[in-house]
Amino acid sequence: MTASTRQARDTRPREAAGTGYAACHHGEILQGVFRDERGRPCQALVTLPMNGPGSTAHFTRRPGTAPDDVRVTPAGRTKARTAAVLALRECAALSAAAPCGGLLTLTGDIPVGLGMGSSTSDVIATVRAVADAWGVRLPPGTIARLAVRAEGASDPLMLGPGPLLFAHREGRTLEALGPALPPAVVLGCALGGGAPVDTLALPAPAYDARDLDAYEHLRRMLRRAVADGDAALLGRVGTASARLGQRRLAHAEFPVLTRVADRCGAVGVQVAHSGNVAGVLFDPRVPALDARLRRCARALEREGVTPTRVFTTRPGTTTHPPTPSEDSSRGRAHLGSHRPAGPDTSRRRPRLPAV
């Protein structure tokens, strides 16, 4: 037995059932192509974390069943089921026990298809629940590896709220940019009428040498913004990344979003690169912030863009104004540092909380 295996074990008695939780996010601040440590082009992203909706998974082991005999409720969560099978094999190997199947139940309140990481949250919550059922602690890097195997690509939600340039198709971090994003207040909104986006129908990203240079420049800007706590520079990075992403997403409301942001004194915008969620970013030190947020929300509504929520770039801090679902409770070891989710909701497109 290796030292890493001994560290991965939990000393408490094994349980027949386990629970895991994972929060969502609000799209990306930056996504594109970057050079890895060997100088090779690599697709990567920097996620914008957010308190609020999340996924909760409950997994019950069924000794004597085949390892791939995992039954999922609700049906159709194929990525979560794949994650459960991968995780139970990993956990069984660490426990030196025979793997078995089980029952997986998923609940949550994350809007689907808006680019808020609903499937990634399901997958991470599932892996944590399986590990909890086996009495095993999986390192975040292992969870990232399993998530990418289950999904094909994953946001770094399992690695904590700090800004990471994360190779989402490889499950590895290209750069840890610092302890936290610069403080900013985000007025979230939904483009495209809040309709889900079929990411499989989107054209595959195509990058050339000029794109690589442009994204590397944005990477340097974001690194400096994090180091200096510069909200204005953060907004410039988000806007530039969203503008580059327009070649693929072609949001009709993007000109409206940037125009309203400029008129209301925002520092920039951000847009999810796999959905319709977007945000207008404000420096929290700007005078009359409350009035600016209200004016921005009204202006977006007049243009047919639905405001959804207001939150900060610092998870764990109070939203401005508070979101209706905010809660400070904490969960068990494999729930991570996020709050438990509320009652189950269906996977139809839900109405987001109004500002």
Give the per-residue pLDDT at 52: 80
Where does 17-313 sit in CATH, by number?
Answer: 3.30.230.10
| 3-state secondary structure (DSSP) of residue 306 | strand
Q: pLDDT tens digits for 265-315?
A: 999 999 998 888 999 999 999 999 999 999 999 999 999 999 999 999 986
**Angle 11-316-245 (CA atoms, 0-180°, nearest 5)?**
105
Q: pLDDT tens digits for 203-244?
A: 677 899 999 999 999 999 999 999 999 999 999 999 999 999
Whether this model's pTM surpasses 0.75: yes
DSSP 332-353: -GGGTTSPPP-S---SS-PPPP
Say how far apart CA 216 and CA 165 lie, in whole Å: 11
**Encoded tokens for 55:** 């996924």
Say how far apart CA 250 and CA 4 lie, in whole Å: 46
Contact in structure between 87 and 131 (CB atoms under 8 Å): yes
| 3-state secondary structure (DSSP) of residue 307 | strand
Q: Where are the domains of the chain?
A: 17-313
Q: pLDDT tens digits for 315-344?
A: 654 343 333 333 322 233 333 333 333 333
